[in-house]
């Protein structure tokens, strides 16, 4: 799919589908075309009065378009305006696909349109993604589609720069979605390590990978214990980005990478276990965020850390009641082998501490409890630094990735006590998302600002949601790229 920005709307070269966007308070599309201007004025009035309940579509005798689609933001109620624009853009593309209209033009020449050009591009890019690798009938529309964003000529240069950034980030998000959508037989720790090496070579990142021998030598016990039941050995992967100018900020992004999670000996129910191919969604977000970061070159140091393993029941697998000692010397009892993500994140934190990270953000499909608390549209966030937490919440909101802060009450640490070790890996029946965060806090390197994102709700959907088709969303990647942009302007206070 080609997405480009151009000035003015040419006559006598009609596009297959012309899309116009209306809003009650913002001018997004405007035209002086003799056929379209009266129609647009009438529709704006009708939408404003609530007389029309869906988009307007018509074959057009106009010189500029063979078909016209007019959408109004009132058709999408519960979101902020930029999210509404993304959703409408994705819907427009879907209609073009259904009617095989490969040349689609969005008229974005209104005075307020430049602010929302990126939203249109993002809605199209993310909405156009399909996971059809294993289907005999492929979706070929995306290969033929040419999307043109027609803008006012005065702001064309700035619009094109915004478009290039948005398309890059969206393509990286789609890469992450592709990886999460792959079956567990196709993606395992060695595969993620190979992808990291490839991204590092192509984009100038320094990549290191610890195999099982390296993990033993470095005493990374969490990964070794979780991965002990699998034929695919664990890996600890690091991708480092260094800015052109020195920076005091050293941001570590740590992504849980359980490539398939059966629960281990504490076996999960079989119903929907296939979704556990996505238990590495955090690692996919980090991996492809690093690709985007390498291309966009923010002015901070960034380390992507991916502790990755497969959690399988085997004669060699860890058992409930087993105890291991991570590198920081704090012993862990494994009460439930299905609470494995927090165990591998210990090793990711140790790698971040070794790198002397000033800020650490981990992202993980960690608990069903967060889904029960917040549902599928929000991720939970916890942390030890209010400035970092607020920066992540604000970054996420600006990208349509919603984060809701949960507390880390000191008194709940009692739930993690066991007579047999320093800390238990689960905290009982109550506050599962919070006790998971408290467990992780035990292993955060001293002095580092830290935040934990539990994305078990929005990482995957069984049906279309907003501008995503059913499947993986790539949740977290856009937030991370935006966080790096904001850090480039100074540490949040």
Pull the structure tokens for residue 98.
Answer: 């259904």
Q: How many CB atoms lie within 10 A of CB 399?
A: 22
Pull the structure tokens for residue 65.
Answer: 């378009």
Three-state secondary-structure class, residue 259? strand
Q: Is 172 exposed, middle or buried (0-12, 13-18, 19+ CB in 10 A)?
A: buried
DSSP 124-184: HHHHT----TT-SS---HHHH-EEEEEE-GGGHHHHHHHHHHHHHHHHHHHHHHHHHHS-T
Residue from 244, 240, 321, 227 nearest 280 by CA: 227
Three-state secondary-structure class, residue 421? strand
Helix (H) or strand (E) holding 427: none
The catalytic site residues sit at 268, 342
Whether the Cβ atoms of residue 121 and residue 163 lie closer than 8 Å to each other: yes
- Contacts for 107 with CB less than 8 Å, ≥ 6 apart: 9, 18, 19, 20, 21, 29, 30, 31, 150
Give the Cα-Cα-Cα angle 182, 86, 161 (nearest 5 degrees): 95
- Contacts for 169 with CB less than 8 Å, ≥ 6 apart: 122, 292, 477, 478, 481
| Residues linked to residue 361 through DSSP beta bridges, in sequence order | 253, 451
Rounded Cα distance between 169 and 155, Å, is: 21
Rounded Cα distance between 469 and 91, Å, is: 11
Buried b (16+ CB within 10 A) or exposed e, 194-219: ebbbebbeeeebebebbebeebeebe
Rounded Cα distance between 205 and 203, Å, is: 6
* DSSP collapsed to 3 states, 87-98: HHHHHHHHHHHH
Task: Write down the H helix ranges in 375-446.
Answer: 386-398, 432-441
């Amino acid at each position: 799919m080609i997405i480009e920005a151009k000035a003015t709307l040419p006559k006598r070269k009609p596009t297959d589908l012309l899309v116009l966007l209306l809003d009650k308070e913002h001018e997004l599309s405007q035209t002086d075309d003799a056929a379209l201007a009266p129609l647009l004025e009438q529709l704006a009035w009708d939408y404003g009065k609530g007389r029309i309940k869906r988009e307007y579509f018509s074959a057009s005798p106009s010189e500029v378009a063979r078909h016209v689609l007019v959408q109004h933001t009132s058709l999408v109620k519960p979101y902020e305006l930029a999210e509404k624009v993304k959703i409408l853009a994705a819907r427009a593309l879907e209609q073009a696909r259904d009617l095989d209209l490969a040349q689609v033009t969005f008229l974005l020449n209104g005075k307020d349109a430049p602010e929302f050009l990126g939203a249109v591009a993002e809605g199209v890019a993310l909405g156009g993604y399909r996971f059809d690798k294993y289907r005999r009938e492929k979706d070929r529309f995306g290969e033929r589609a040419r999307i043109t964003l027609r803008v006012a000529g005065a702001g064309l240069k700035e619009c094109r720069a915004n478009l290039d950034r948005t398309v890059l980030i969206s393509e990286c998000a789609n890469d992450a979605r592709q990886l999460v959508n792959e079956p567990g037989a196709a993606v395992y720790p060695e595969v993620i390590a190979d992808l990291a090496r490839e991204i590092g070579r192509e984009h100038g990142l320094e990549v290191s990978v610890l195999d099982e021998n390296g993990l033993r030598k470095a005493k990374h016990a969490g990964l070794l214990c979780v991965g002990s039941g699998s034929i695919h050995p664990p890996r600890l992967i690091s991708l480092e980005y260094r800015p052109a100018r020195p920076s005091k900020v050293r941001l570590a992004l740590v992504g849980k990478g359980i490539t398939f999670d059966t629960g281990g000996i504490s076996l999960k129910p079989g119903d929907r276990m296939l979704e556990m191919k996505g238990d590495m969604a955090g690692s996919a977000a980090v991996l492809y965020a690093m690709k985007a970061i390498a291309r966009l070159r923010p002015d901070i140091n960034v380390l992507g850390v991916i502790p990755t393993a497969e959690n399988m029941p085997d004669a060699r697998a860890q058992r409930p009641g087993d105890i291991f000692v991570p590198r920081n010397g704090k012993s862990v009892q494994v009460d439930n082998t299905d609470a494995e993500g927090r165990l591998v994140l210990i090793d990711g934190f140790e790698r971040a501490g070794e790198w002397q990270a000033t800020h650490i953000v981990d992202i993980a499909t960690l608990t069903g409890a967060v889904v029960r608390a917040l549902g599928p549209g929000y991720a939970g966030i916890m942390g030890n630094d209010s400035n970092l937490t607020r920066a992540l919440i604000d970054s996420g909101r600006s990208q349509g990735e919603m984060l809701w802060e949960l507390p880390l009450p000191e008194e709940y640490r009692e739930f993690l006590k066991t007579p047999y070790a320093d800390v238990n890996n689960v905290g009982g029946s109550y506050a599962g998302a919070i006790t998971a965060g408290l467990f992780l806090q035990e292993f955060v390197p001293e002095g580092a600002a830290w935040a934990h994102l539990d994305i078990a709700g929005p990482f995957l959907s069984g049906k279309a949601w907003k501008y995503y088709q059913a499947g993986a969303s790539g949740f977290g990647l856009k937030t991370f790229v935006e966080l790096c942009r904001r850090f480039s302007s100074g540490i949040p206070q």
